[in-house]
Amino acid sequence: MGTSLGFHIVFAVLGVGLPLLMCVAEGLALWRRDEAWMVLARRWSKAFGILFAVGAVSGTVLSFELGLLWPRFMAFSGGIFGLPFSAEGFAFFIEAIFLGLYLYGWDRLGPVKHWLTSIPIALSGAASSVFVVMANAWMNTPAGFRLGPDGQLASVDPLAAALNPSTATEDPHMLVSAYVVTGFLVAAVYAVGLLRGRNDIFHRRGLASGMAMAAVAIVLAGVTGDSSARFVYEAQPAKFASMEGIYKTQRGAPIHLGGIPSDTEHRVLYAIEIPKLLSFLATFDPNAEVRGLDTFPAADRPNPVLVHLSFDGMVGLGIFIGLLAAAFWLLAIRRRAVPTRRLLLLGLVAAGPASVAAMEAGWFVTEFGRQPWIVYGVMRTSEAATTAPALGLTFAIFIAIYAGLAITTARLLLFLAARTRNAP
């Protein structure tokens, strides 16, 4: 399931961000009567068509895996997930319908009418992200239900469950992260082209468009990420302690930069320690108390090594790509032109996969940090998973399928790029 989610989420975030870039590019083309923007919109729409198809396949696999791999979990939470999953299904169908109109309507619809079909694609893509993450948010802070004597759901308020306490922080953070990843991946593609000498208007504008989205989104990701971390401090103290390797409850808790948590020594080894900063960031009080892992039974603690390293990876990569975005726009404003310094372009090429890695690491923090619970405080992961045998063979088959999909997608995108390279 983790492999499937890690694969699918890349296509899911591009399904959120690329439609917005298409919509803006075509809107600028109509407003300014500029054919170059229209060419970019056409190129992005073809790439998006491929990514959407592959994302639909990998998303369908996830639907089956929920039932096959987590039968007890779905039997317990089916009444909760009905509303967000149904809403996500409607959003997906709206996106698919208007994507069909958009792709096949280039020469069949009037210019403004065609542009208008891009707006529902962008909105429904964002809505899909919001609805799916609502379900995950409920797993972190379950609400909107009452348990019966048999431990099963006796009554459910679907709206209260969907709008659980985590939704207000988790949904915005994931949404802006999708725009971060899309922006940096698009910028990385055009940075590669510029490094290969294709210094034309399409590559300069493509790079600038990606970096515009990335720069705005990375700032919002920092703001929403900070809010999420402070919420975790209150709602999931074991996860919060694992994120920073805090073993003992203390006031004025430090932040650990890097390092490896040691369960035997109850401290973070080889870390740079900044006194009181964790307490301040969590509560704006440098002397606030932070609960340590030693206040939780050993069976109820997440793995601090996985959570801490994932958290540091997410933050470190986020800072790296954020500094690149700042450098890009400072140079662009100073020179009043798209900067094409080789060192900067190399950094932007690295920023594409780095943004994906940061997003994946963020999800590792969310999922590893909730363990051993699949529904926090209500149902353990061990109680929810299937006991069916021969899952190793099934896993190998899925790995082969995903590898084939990844190779096929890459070849199709490269073929598309080769066909459009010399297009007018």
Query: pLDDT tens, 376-413?
Result: 988 898 888 888 777 788 788 878 888 888 888 888 88
- pLDDT grade for 156, boundaries at 50, 70 and 90: confident
Share of the chain above pLDDT 90, in %: 32
Mean pLDDT of 3-20: 87
Mean pLDDT of 100-113: 89
Question: Is pLDDT above 70 for 149?
Answer: yes
Instruction: Report the pLDDT value the prediction gives residue 421, as an integer from 0 to 100.
Output: 61
Single pTM value for the model: 0.90
395/393 Cα distance (integer angstroms): 5
Q: pLDDT per residue over 38-80, tens digit each? A: 988 988 888 888 888 888 877 777 877 887 888 888 888 877 8
Q: How far is CA 115 from the centre of its chain?
A: 27
Instruction: Report the pLDDT value the prediction gives residue 422, as an integer from 0 to 100.
Output: 52
- pLDDT grade for 314, boundaries at 50, 70 and 90: very high
Whether 324 and 351 have beta carbons less than 8 Å apart is answered as yes
359/354 Cα distance (integer angstroms): 9
Would you call 365 helix, strand, or coil by DSSP?
Answer: helix
Number of DSSP helices (H) and strands (E) in the chain, helices first = 13, 10
Whether 374 and 384 have beta carbons less than 8 Å apart is answered as yes
Tokens of 141: 């802070």
145 phi, psi to nearest 5 deg: -155, 165
Whether 98 and 19 have beta carbons less than 8 Å apart is answered as no
The set of residues, in sequence order, having a beta carbon less than 8 Å from that of 21 and lying 6+ positions away, is: 44, 182, 186, 209, 210, 213
366/381 Cα distance (integer angstroms): 14
Instruction: Report the pLDDT value the prediction gives residue 65, as an integer from 0 to 100.
Output: 81
Preceding omega of 372 cis (within 30 degrees of 0): yes
Tokens of 388: 């069916």
Instruction: Report the pLDDT value the prediction gives residue 424, as an integer from 0 to 100.
Output: 40
Question: Is pLDDT above 90 for 215?
Answer: yes
Cα of first residue to Cα of last residue in the chain, in angstroms, is 44
Question: Is pLDDT above 80 for 133?
Answer: yes
Q: pLDDT per residue over 227-285, tens digit each? A: 998 999 988 999 999 998 888 898 888 888 888 888 888 888 888 888 888 888 888 88
193/130 Cα distance (integer angstroms): 34
Question: Is pLDDT above 90 for 82?
Answer: no
Least confident of 96-100, 217-221, 413-417: 413-417
Residue 263 buriedness (CB in 10 A; 0-12 / 13-18 / 19+): middle
- What is the identity of the amino acid at 318? G
Q: pLDDT per residue over 350-381, tens digit each? A: 999 999 999 999 999 999 999 999 989 888 98
Average pLDDT, the chain: 87
138/135 Cα distance (integer angstroms): 5
**In 3D, which of 417, 316, 366, 348 has the Cα closest to residue 46?**
417
Share of the chain above pLDDT 70, in %: 99
352/347 Cα distance (integer angstroms): 9
Instruction: Report the pLDDT value the prediction gives residue 54, as an integer from 0 to 100.
Output: 83
Instruction: Report the pLDDT value the prediction gives residue 64, as an integer from 0 to 100.
Output: 79
210/204 Cα distance (integer angstroms): 10
If DSSP states are collapsed to H, E and C, what string results for 213-251? Answer: HHHHHHHHHHHHHHHHHHHHHHHCHHHHHHHHCCCCCEE
Instruction: Report the pLDDT value the prediction gives residue 55, as an integer from 0 to 100.
Output: 81
Question: Is pLDDT above 80 for 325?
Answer: yes
Q: How far is CA 44 from the centre of its chain?
A: 20
376 phi, psi to nearest 5 deg: -55, 120
According to DSSP, the residues that pair with 155 across neighbouring strands are 146
Torsion angle of C-alpha atoms 92, 129, 215, 188, degrees rounded to 10 = -60
Residue 51 DSSP class: H
